[in-house]
Structure formats: C-alpha cells, structure tokens
Homo-oligomer: A and B are copies of this chain.
Amino acid sequence: MLSAADNELLTRTGQGTAMGELLRRFWVPALLAEEVAEPQCPPVRLTLMGESLVVWRDADGRLGALEEHCAHRQASLYFGRNESRESRDGACGLRCVYHGWKYDIEGRCIDMPNEPAKSRFKDHIRIRSYPVAERGDVVWIYLGPGDTIPALPDLEWAVVPQNQRFVSKRLQRTNFAQAMEGGIDSSHVSFLHSDARLWNPDWTGAKNSTRNHLVEDGAPKFFVEPTQYGMLVGARRNTTDGRYYWRVTQWLMPWYNIVPRDGDGPISAHAWVPIDDETCWAWSVSFNPDSALTKQQTDHYRAGGSIHAEAIPGTYLPTRNAGNDYLIDRTLQKTVSFTGINGIAMQDVAMQEGMGPIVDRTKEHLGSSDAAVIAARKRMLAEARAFAEAGGDTTPSGLDPLQQRVRSASMILPSDVSWVEATEDSRRAARKHYEYS
C-alpha cells in the first residue's frame, strides 16, 4: 500500500507535478507511424500528460509536433491545411484555416496573410514545437526542456527489422501507473491469463508447457535486481522435477516492460503512456528478434490475439470495454476460461479499470508476490522526489540507450544455479540490431 500522498505523487503527471516533470525527460511513444504515414497527410490530434498536440507529416515527409492551438486566436491546428512547397509562400507547413497563419515543423510562423505584406509580426510568433522522431513503427515525441533531449530508446523491439515486429495501441481508462503495474506483475499470469482447464488436476491437455509451469506454481518467489535502466525481475517457480522455472522480465524507466517468449516465439513488450491522469495509451509489441513474423502471427495479432486487443474499426478503442462488461461469458468462466473474458489484454483491462480510474492504493494488502510492483513504485517515487529536489537539474536514470539493449528470458534451472548469471547471455539484445549506432 501507499500513503495517499505517495499515491498522488505516483499518479499525477500534469505540467509542474514532480512525476510529470520527470516523465517529460523521456521520449514518449506517441503515435503509430501508420497514423501519419504519408507526406502531406491529415494532421492528428493527441493529448499526452494533459498537453494537447497536433502531429503531422509535411509534404517533404518530415514530421512535426506542435502545441494544438494557433498562437493567433487559439483555433485548433488539427483542422489545418498541410501545405506543400506549391503553396502561396513556397514552403511546406501547416496553415491554420481560421486566418491563414502558417507554421513550419519547428513552430515558426512562416506566413501571416491577414497582416500587411510589410508587417514583421509573424517573425515574433512561434508556437511550441516538440522534438519528434520515428523508430520501430512508432512516432516518438519529447515534451521536456530543449536542452536535455536524450537519445531515442534502444529498445530491441524498436530496432529490429520491420517484418519482425507488430505494434498496436489501445485506449485504457485508468492512470498509466495502474496499467504499468499490471505489466510488471508477472504473478497474475498464473491466474488471470490461465486456461481454467489447467486448474483441473484431471486435465492432461497441455502438460509441460510454459503455461503449465505458470499454473503448477501460482506462488512464485520474486527477486528484484535494481539496474541503471530500471530493474530486472526474476520470478522463480517450482517445477515437478525439483528444478526451478525462472521467468525473467525487465521494467525500464519510466513505463516500459519486456515479457519472455515461449521457446523461439515472439517476445512481448509494452509501454504505458499517460494521456491524462485517468486515461492512458497501452502499447503492445510482439517481436521476434531472430526472424520475420509469419502472416499467421500478424493476422492473429491484428484480430486481437495474444497481447493485442480487438478494436472498434477505425479507432484504437477496444471492442470489449467497461460499457459492455468486456463481453464476459459466465458459462465460459465456469468451464474453460478462468475469467470468461476473451483475450489477455482485455483480461488485464477488466482488472485495472475495475479498480476505478486511479486506484486507492491506501487500501491494498500486498504480499510477497507483489515484490516487483513494490520495487517499481519505490523507484518511481524516489526518482520523482530526487528530480524535484534537484529542481530538475539532474539526469534521471534510465536514459542510457546502451543500458536499454536488454531482452526478457525464461529458463528451467537446477536449484543451485544463479538466475542472474545463467540468464545473462539470453538477456542481451542481439548486437546486430544496433549496427546503426
């Protein structure tokens, strides 16, 4: 549990909040690249940590991210014209349709046709522009001070070849920390995501699979190793032959986590990004560091399979949501599914949204299996406090790209072997993916 004050500190991300200012020192996964795929495509509106932005790709193919409203009369640039060099002033830019003020991707007002030709007023007008970059099918935006822009994250999923990766996002109606804690907590996998048949001792359908290990020991012992990027979490489960099944995941500052693959299958990864304090974007990535995803896999993900979610067409809003009780099927819940809710993602969301938009952490009763969640909270709170105490004049941990080149792992080990050492090689992201650097 947290004190009410710590719960506030953890969950408030607006400008001027301690956590919000810390988060602003990190690149933010902001849009799917597909949302601004084409040069001169329509601008996209979005809100990140309570700030309204408009993102667009100009006719020359460059990305721009601006504060949403025109400096003149505060009309939304979302309705703006994305103009090419063929336009009146000969430059690419986003023109407000109210009175024609036009901005380049750096927020400079480059045309002001409603003022006299000789006016220099436009030279004094500049709206806030945000550094923006593309990597790994994601558009990243940096909301912090201009003199402290870090390198882009070197997360392995973001740098593998495109055909080895599938990225989706979905809207979640909770605070980002609440969603993230679900990602850090690998204990619930034994329950929430279990096939209910595994709970039946007579059922022999899936013996010896990973899922079986997860259910055979629902009370993993957690080991947390603090790292520069965040923390390494080892969840140890007993197997029937006296060895340990280790499930090793990373949590990376400030909102990433990586979940192990089954055998040679795809690795899962997530990011949890505040829209405002009561909604967030849940990002989900399936990637294979070694080979292309198959069409069967990507079709499956696109339909809401694995960690992805089926969306209302044309949106990133889940088909299953609080308004329809996640289409829970109580008959299924009595037979083959532990929850009766279809899909890993929506099982998580039912739990997390069911807590209310900002869960009251003063009411919790945490146990030994919550060790990783507890450690991540402590780290986030300590980082936010230290950052605030330093008046922002410090570099948060977790920004070093070299440290981010990690990978989750799972392994069956004899009981006398060090999990940290034994998984060390497996936890290294493939060097080949970083040839660009």
Partner of A367, one of B81, B98, B121, B359: B121
The complex places the Cα of A123 from the Cα of B87 at a distance, in Å, of 73
B190 touches A81 (CB 8 A): no
State whether A74 and B330 are in contact (beta carbons under 8 Å apart), knowing that A187-B99, A354-B79, A355-B69 are contacts in the complex: no
State whether A113 and B219 are in contact (beta carbons under 8 Å apart), knowing that A351-B98, A367-B121 are contacts in the complex: yes
At the interface with chain B, which of A18-26, A141-149, A333-341?
Answer: A333-341
Tell me how far the C-beta of A371 lies from the nearest C-beta in chain B, rounded to whole angstroms: 12
Partner of A78, one of B97, B100, B354: B354
Count of interface residues, chain A, beta-carbon cutoff 8 Å: 64
Partner of A115, one of B73, B219, B330, B359: B219
The complex places the Cα of A196 from the Cα of B74 at a distance, in Å, of 22
The complex places the Cα of A191 from the Cα of B334 at a distance, in Å, of 53
Residues of A contacting B: mostly: loop
Chain B residues whose C-beta falls within 8 Å of the C-beta of A31 in the assembled complex = none
B338 touches A191 (CB 8 A): no
How many copies of this chain are found per oligomer?
3
- With an 8 A cutoff between CB atoms, is A366 at the interface? yes
B199 touches A115 (CB 8 A): no
**Chain A 211-246: CB-based contact to B (< 8 A → 1; otherwise 0):** 000000011110000000000000000000000000
Q: Which of A63-84 contact B (CB under 8 A)?
A: 69, 71-76, 78-79, 81
Partner of A114, one of B42, B76, B367: B367
**Chain A 28-56: CB-based contact to B (< 8 A → 1; otherwise 0):** 00000000000010100000000000000
Chain B residues whose C-beta falls within 8 Å of the C-beta of A73 in the assembled complex = 181, 351, 355, 359, 364, 366, 370
Chain B residues whose C-beta falls within 8 Å of the C-beta of A100 in the assembled complex = 190-191, 218
Chain B residues whose C-beta falls within 8 Å of the C-beta of A356 in the assembled complex = 74
Other than A71-B363, A99-B188, A113-B190, give 10 A-B pairs with Cβ distance below 8 A: A72-B366, A75-B351, A79-B328, A79-B339, A79-B351, A97-B191, A99-B190, A112-B367, A114-B220, A115-B369
